Amino acid sequence: MTARPAGRLPWVLLASLTTAASAWSLGNGFVYDDVPIILQNPLVHQLGSAATIWRSGYWPTGLLYRPVTSQLFALEWTLGGGHPLVFHLVSVLLAVATALAVWRLAIQVLPPLPAALVGALFAVHPVHVEAVANVVGQAELLATLFGLLAVERYVTWRAEGALSPARRIGLAALTLLAILSKETGYVVPFLLAVAELTIVRTRVPKASSAPVVAPVFTLQLSVIVAAILLRIIVLGPTPGAGPAVALRSLAAGERIVGMLAVVPQWVRLLFWPEHLQAEYGPPALAVTGGFGLAHLLGVVILLGAFALMAMMWRRHPAIAFGLAWTAIALLPVSNLLTATGVILAERTLFLPSVGAMLALGGVMELFLALYDRLRARRGLCAITGAVVMAGAVLSARRQSVWRSEEVFFHQLESDAPRTYRAHLVASVHYSATGRHPEAERPARRGLELYQGDPPLYAQLGQVLRVQRRCGEAIPFLSDGVQRFPDRTVARSRLIECLLAVGDTAKALTVAKQAVGLGQSEFSRTIQRLQTKPAPEGAAR
């Protein structure tokens, strides 16, 4: 566990592999979430706003609290004058640092050969592309890097005996930085606990554990409490980004059952990511309270993984450690504890992939223990080398998907043809760039695929309205208002279209219904309609 890598060659090779897989992102611009969080966010356009950043939410709307990530964005903007190259260069450097940190941890828990192979596989993993190619993925990179450093230092220091106060404070600082980079950082203390119970516990006498670890985890718990209080002070007791649309109508039990269908996708993306896409959701990935084949497969996978973890806990702790890491890292995005804003996103698998690769390294260690022959070692290296090369090529090619908004949204519809949100966001992009006829096709396709998201109706209605086709828009907008009476956008656009076709009485009725539901902003619309005929566009 205390072995140290010799020479600089492994560092150079891993850095080269990561760069080969990631450097193609240097030509990318600001795409998708980069636009509101960086390009259109004046808060990160100057270093002088540091105090405000630490008192503000991550999104311009105030949701989430990631001041470390936002502060880094401000520094990058200042250094590069707002040019995306600086941001993407930092992302590549963070990816290199994270791959090296994975290897540093692997060399503590695995023999040199499996540890090197783990580092290589992680360096080129295609599921990492979204976190690296899209600038906002720096939140994932930072949280994972800080978490890795904390766990690696903990394992190393525990092998040396008691942890000094300075070391305990250092671990706490890394945990706090991870949390303030992204909310997944809250799992770092639990990763430390798993390292203690698997890797450390098998090699350090149990009698000496409690007095050593108690101060460490007391301080870790204090960090979690402090981070939660800081978030509440800044943002208030907000629930975060809110649940994904497909999860809003599900009870807790239904949501847990529904997420079983996602488990096979986690496994596929972690171990065989031959197809990637930036949006996942219904109807292609349906999360419902029902139980089907995908749910059954999810149950089998989970039971098998936990059984394997229990079997390997003492015999082969590296495998148990990797599986436990993966489970813990997935927990915040699993929608089990509470509903989150995503059903599945590739960027959220960056931290879990560390555990998946460590578990795979443990399997390699077991293989070499059973077949300790030169031929077996060469065969393992050859197979892994081929996978690494394939991963590097796939990752490099995938980076260009995030080249520009135009490239991204076109590819998104192609990658996820049966995911309604892929078409919805593409339509919104085309509308924002003034290409309303082009926006109509994805808007219609999104509504054909799924009828449970209010913006679908508002978007299609708006696309038709701006083309002066309100007669076609009214049925869609009316349907949206009927299905989601508490939402105001579709109602507002319905009133605009009703006025455009001369149906003032119906527009007045729709506005009165809104006020009856507590939407007082429509009161002024009623006043205008009752005093004189309203021109087109009089609605809010």
Tokens of 469: 């086709």
The pLDDT score that the predictor gives to residue 3 is 46
Q: What is the pTM of this model?
A: 0.92
CA-CA distance, 341 to 323, in Å (whole number)?
Answer: 25
- Residue 273 is encoded by which pair of tokens? 């990511």
Question: In the chain, pLDDT over 70 holds for what percent of residues?
Answer: 95
| Dihedral sign (CA 195, 196, 197, 198) | positive
Residues written for the chain: 540
Please tell me the least confidently modeled range out of 74-78, 256-260, 337-341, 362-366: 337-341
Which long-range contacts (C-beta less than 8 Å, at least 24 apart) are formed by 94-97? 94/138, 94/141, 94/142, 94/145, 95/18, 95/22, 95/128, 95/131, 95/132, 95/141, 96/14, 96/15, 96/18, 96/19, 96/22, 97/145
* pLDDT exceeds 50 at position 1: no
419-531 maps to which CATH number? 1.25.40.10
Radius of gyration over every alpha carbon of the chain, rounded to an integer in angstroms: 26
How many helices (DSSP H) and strands (DSSP E) are in the chain? Answer: 25, 0
- Report how far residue 463's alpha carbon sits from residue 477's, in angstroms, rounded to the nearest whole number: 11
- pLDDT digit string, tens, across residues 115-138: 999 999 999 999 999 999 999 999
Domain boundaries defined on the chain: 20-98+127-132+373-416, 140-234, 243-370, 419-531
Q: Contact at 8 Å (CB) between 157 and 52?
A: no
SS3 readout for 130-151? HHHHCHHHHHHHHHHHHHHHHH
Residues 313-325: tens digit of each pLDDT: 988 999 999 999 9
Where does the pLDDT of residue 233 fall: very low under 50, low under 70, confident under 90, or very high at 90 and above?
very high
Q: Is the pLDDT of residue 302 over 50?
A: yes
HEC string for 436-495:
HHHHHHHHHHHHHHCCCCHHHHHHHHHHHHHCCCHHHHHHHHHHHHHHCCCCCHHHHHHH
Examine the pLDDT at 280 and tell me if it is beyond 90: yes
Least confident of 356-365, 451-460, 461-470, 524-533: 524-533
- Whether the per-residue pLDDT at 160 is higher than 80: the answer is yes
Q: What does the pLDDT read at residue 210? A: 76
| Between 315 and 34, residue with greater pLDDT | 34
